[in-house]
Amino acid sequence: MATRINKYLSEVGFCSRRKADRLIEERKVTINGEITEIGSKVEEGDQVEVEGEKIIKSTKQKNIYLAFNKPIGIVCTTDRRVEPDNVIDFIKYPKRIFPIGRLDKPSEGLILLTNDGDIVNKILRARNNHEKEYIVSVNRPINKDFIQRMSNGVEILDTITQNCFVKQLGQKTFKIILTQGLNRQIRRMCESLGYRVRSLKRVRIMNIKLDVPTGKYRELTKEELIELNRLLENSSKTYF
């Protein structure tokens, strides 16, 4: 049975479908020596290569799910040539995995890594309203007006952010729960209101909580995976 090339690269644990589409657009993927296109399909016995690396599909791949506490300064990318301080080289996991989503370089906290392309696509789809919780410190005292404005939506990137839960924790610290994933969203929201983020830590993704020391990782438990799949059961498998 033929398989779309981006789904094939996801299923073998090479990368997410979104990353596969980017590689295809950059003309870095071939099937039987021919440069492939978005929507091309892989047949049984075809030889797939990415930048000259042969991609071998094993008969049965064990899915890997890790919760990692990313330190400040580590970049959530699998491109080792672009970023020497990338998450893959830092973790040194013995099998190919890739991060689900991103945390920018100055931020820290929970990032999930896997070789399961389907779960990546489900979690990344903003319309599925999957919660991500952060603890944020800013450069000057916050007040009720700041909390209300952050909660009700802030104009950034030519749009208004969705309503979200925000709670003050200290003079300059607050908790925020997002279901969006705009680029540098929290930092841009704070800047729009005249504040500068001093520290930003993600402490939860859906039902997965941050509970390992900085720079360490653990496998998700069976119970966490059951609940994660329950939360994702109505999520579309449609990819970017």
Instruction: Kindly list the catalytic residues.
Output: 104
The CA distance from 5 to 8, in Å, is 5
- How far is residue 148's CA from residue 165's CA, in Å, rounded to a whole number? 9
Residue 124: C-alpha distances to residues 109, 120, 129 (Å): 17, 6, 10
> And the tokens for 216?
């360490």
According to DSSP, residue 44 is labeled T
Q: Is 17 helix (H, G, I), strand (E, B) or coil?
A: helix
d(CA 213, CA 13): 27
* Close Cβ partners of 124 (under 8 Å, ≥ 6 residues apart): 16, 18, 100, 101, 181, 240
- On the 0-12 / 13-18 / 19+ scale of CB atoms within 10 A, 231 is middle
Q: Are 67 and 210 spatial neighbours (Cβ–Cβ below 8 Å)?
A: yes
Phi, psi dihedral angles at 87 (to 5 degrees): -65, -35
